[in-house]
């Protein structure tokens, strides 16, 4: 049917109206989109830029270089060495098991290392890098880098790891570092973020542990760009951390090395102390152990070998060991009696070989007795009965006070682990500790360094230095931090009668230089180097009346762990003391036979600053000493070359 012109005109008007409505709607939508785009691209640009950056930029902490540890002459005791390692980030790795399997095949990881990495990955947050392997060869690192596409979330890194060049020589002093453990983190209220870095090492024992905050330093950081699978594209910027402070100890590394070698396989300890400053020149425990084993991750077999050893190589005997001081304590009793005025230096006491007190018999080491004995002879020949008499006259409170004055029963503030206070007993102590009253027999035992009295080798060295100097010398181990000298503690006079101290020193000189002295066989022939000292033998078992009736067994007839401890303390040179020495040989038998020869060798090594001439020894011993020096030579550090620094 043919449309009329009017119908065509109406239809055209309808089409035009619809087109206008549609065009308006389109224009409205386009306008809204434009406004939204403008809002997103202009007004919200900064916010979305930050979000985009967060998606592609990762922040990683950089561990600082740990401070170095030196001896007094600049010899490095704890160093840092390069360490190539491989880490994995769980959230970037995807199938962790598959990635670890490929990595194990690629660089030859053992099953134990892979299992350790799996446990660590499960324990840590997914974004924390976990070290899978350390101390890799450069070829292994290059192989990992070349196979990066097949190892998502795996990154090769280069860092620093601790190294102890002198090994066992300084293990008991410097200590060692190890990876942060859950126990370490649990002890801290606000742990440093550094401790979350994979296998970050912190001090575990010794100076490394006690000076952790000083040695650790502050973390740095780096921003890296990563792609969608977490692969590092580039490093955007880096801020290096602040290295830890370097620490200089008072130790003389060469002397420390000699002392450790001289102690050998004995279960023993020795301390060498500067009489004037209190500097600890050597502080050695034997047997030793290699601290580098702990840094690298000690094996179960190696660790069991150390813990099962009855000579306790992991124990720092110089400060942790607390031993009955035996006759090395007699100077304390003598000075307490002299200062109290209850005995004169020339007054004699008769020694018949034993004494009866309160129904108990106390024996002298010489069964037949010493006869009439005065102060100097009592120390020279180590008569016990003389000190039983002094104990009854003086009383435990005066002995206790004098022991404290000479440094016994004190815990000195040194950066070493588990320092023992020893035990300087008193009436109040026994009442508080055992709920019992003090008895006269306790005083008699204490007078000869037995009973409740306990002292560490460090405390015995301090006591000896105070006797030699007449001053309250305090031991010092840290000499400087970052080159800043740490001043020695003040050493005020002890306030003892100089005449009494002279008598004690004269007696100690006779111990070594008199033919009747208990250390005569360990004397020094070089007049300018002669030492003054005191032997000590402390029982570790009770001797019954029945055994005395049968005859007391000699130490060589007893199992090792039931033999007496051997002790010796000394200062030298006698006329102008420079060093004090204390030696304890666990279950060594006798102070004169086991401890005194070691101490004499240490004294000469320290005074001569190297191997002493055999002419310093008695003529009858020189062949044996030459042989001993030849045997020790391979274990000793070479002498410093020309221009070597000296303190």
- CA 600 vs CA 522, 523, 537, 538: distances in Å: 6, 7, 17, 20
Contact 448, 330 (CB under 8 A): yes
- Determine the Cα–Cα distance for residues 485 and 625; give it in Å rounded to an integer: 39
- CA 256 vs CA 259, 277, 414, 550: distances in Å: 5, 18, 17, 45
Angle among Cα 137, 142, 147 to the nearest 5 degrees reads 130
179 has which bridge partners? 201
- CA 585 vs CA 167, 264, 268, 561: distances in Å: 22, 11, 4, 12
- Determine the Cα–Cα distance for residues 617 and 623; give it in Å rounded to an integer: 10
Nearest to 358 by CA among 423, 441, 275: 441
Question: Which string of DSSP letters, residue by residue, matches 409-472?
Answer: T-----S-SS----B---HHHHHHHHS----HHHHHHHHTT-TT-BB-HHHHHHHHHHHHHSB-
Q: Is 161 a catalytic residue?
A: no
- Determine the Cα–Cα distance for residues 420 and 412; give it in Å rounded to an integer: 9
* Cβ atoms within 10 Å of 417's Cβ, excluding its own: 18
Helix, strand, or coil here: 349? strand
Nearest to 251 by CA among 606, 643, 604, 561: 606
- Determine the Cα–Cα distance for residues 497 and 339; give it in Å rounded to an integer: 7
Nearest to 579 by CA among 278, 206, 231, 135: 278
Residue whose pair of structure tokens reads 């008769």 in the numeric block: 350
- Determine the Cα–Cα distance for residues 550 and 342; give it in Å rounded to an integer: 38
Contact 423, 435 (CB under 8 A): no
N- to C-terminal Cα separation, the chain: 124
Q: Which residues contact 600 (CB under 8 A, 6 or more apart)?
A: 519, 522, 523, 524, 531, 570
Nearest to 67 by CA among 221, 239, 256, 201: 201
**Which residue is catalytic, options 161, 250, 277, 327?**
327
The residues annotated as belonging to the active site are: 327
């Amino acid at each position: 049917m043919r449309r009329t012109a009017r119908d065509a005109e109406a239809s055209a008007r309808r089409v035009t109206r619809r087109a206008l409505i549609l065009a308006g709607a389109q224009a409205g939508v386009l306008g809204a989109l434009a406004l939204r785009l403008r809002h997103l691209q202009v007004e919200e640009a900064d916010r979305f830029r930050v979000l985009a950056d967060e998606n592609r930029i990762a922040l990683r902490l950089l561990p600082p270089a740990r401070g170095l540890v030196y001896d007094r002459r600049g010899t490095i005791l704890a160093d840092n060495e390069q360490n190539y390692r491989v880490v994995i980030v769980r959230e970037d790795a995807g199938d962790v098991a598959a990635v670890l399997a490929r990595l194990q095949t690629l660089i030859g990881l053992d099953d134990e290392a892979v299992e350790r990495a799996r446990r660590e990955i499960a324990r840590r947050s997914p974004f924390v890098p976990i070290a899978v392997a350390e101390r890799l060869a450069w070829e292994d690192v290059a192989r990992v880098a070349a196979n990066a596409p097949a190892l998502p979330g795996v990154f090769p890194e280069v860092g620093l790891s601790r190294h102890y060049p002198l090994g066992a020589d300084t293990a008991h002093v410097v200590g060692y570092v190890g990876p942060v453990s859950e126990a370490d983190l649990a002890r801290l209220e606000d742990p440093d973020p550094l401790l979350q870095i994979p296998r970050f090492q912190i001090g575990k024992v010794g100076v490394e542990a006690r000076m952790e905050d000083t040695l650790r330093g502050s973390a740095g950081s780096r921003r890296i760009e990563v792609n969608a699978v977490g692969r590092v594209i580039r490093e955007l910027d880096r801020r290096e951390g602040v290295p830890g402070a370097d620490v200089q100890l008072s130790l003389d590394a060469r002397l420390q090395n000699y002392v450790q070698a001289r102690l050998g396989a004995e279960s023993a300890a020795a301390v060498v102390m500067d009489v004037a400053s209190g500097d600890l020149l050597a502080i050695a425990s034997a047997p030793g152990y290699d601290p580098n084993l702990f840094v690298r991750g000690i094996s179960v077999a190696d660790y069991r070998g150390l813990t099962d050893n009855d000579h306790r190589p992991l124990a720092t005997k110089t400060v942790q060991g607390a031993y009955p001081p035996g006759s090395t304590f007699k100077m304390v009793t003598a000075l307490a009696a002299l200062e109290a005025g209850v005995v004169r230096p020339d007054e004699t006491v008769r020694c018949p070989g034993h004494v009866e007190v309160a129904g108990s018999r106390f024996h002298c080491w010489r069964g037949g007795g010493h006869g009439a004995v005065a102060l100097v002879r009592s120390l020279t020949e180590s008569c016990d009965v003389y000190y039983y008499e002094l104990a009854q006259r003086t009383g435990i409170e005066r002995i206790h006070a004098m022991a404290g004055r000479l440094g016994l029963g004190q815990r000195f503030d040194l950066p070493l682990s588990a320092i023992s206070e020893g035990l300087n007993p008193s009436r109040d102590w026994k009442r508080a500790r055992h709920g019992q009253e003090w008895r006269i027999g306790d005083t008699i035992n204490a007078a000869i360094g037995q009973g409740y009295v306990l002292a560490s080798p460090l405390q015995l060295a301090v006591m000896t230095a105070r006797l030699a100097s007449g001053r309250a010398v305090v031991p010092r181990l840290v000499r400087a931090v970052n080159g800043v000298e740490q001043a020695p503690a003040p050493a005020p006079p002890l306030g003892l009668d100089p005449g009494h101290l002279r008598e004690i020193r004269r007696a100690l000189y006779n111990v070594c230089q008199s033919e009747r002295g208990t250390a005569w066989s360990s004397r020094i022939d070089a007049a300018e180097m002669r030492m003054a000292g005191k032997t000590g033998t402390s029982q570790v078992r009770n001797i019954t009346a029945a055994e005395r009736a049968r005859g007391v067994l000699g130490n060589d007839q007893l199992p090792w762990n039931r033999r007496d401890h051997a002790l010796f303390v000394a200062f030298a040179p006698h006329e102008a003391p420079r060093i004090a020495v204390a030696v304890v040989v666990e279950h060594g038998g006798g102070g004169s036979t086991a401890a005194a020869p070691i101490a004499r060798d240490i004294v000469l090594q320290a005074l001569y600053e190297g191997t002493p001439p055999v002419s310093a020894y008695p003529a009858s011993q020189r062949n044996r000493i030459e042989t001993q020096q030849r045997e020790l030579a391979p274990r000793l550090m070479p002498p410093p070359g020309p221009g070597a620094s000296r303190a």
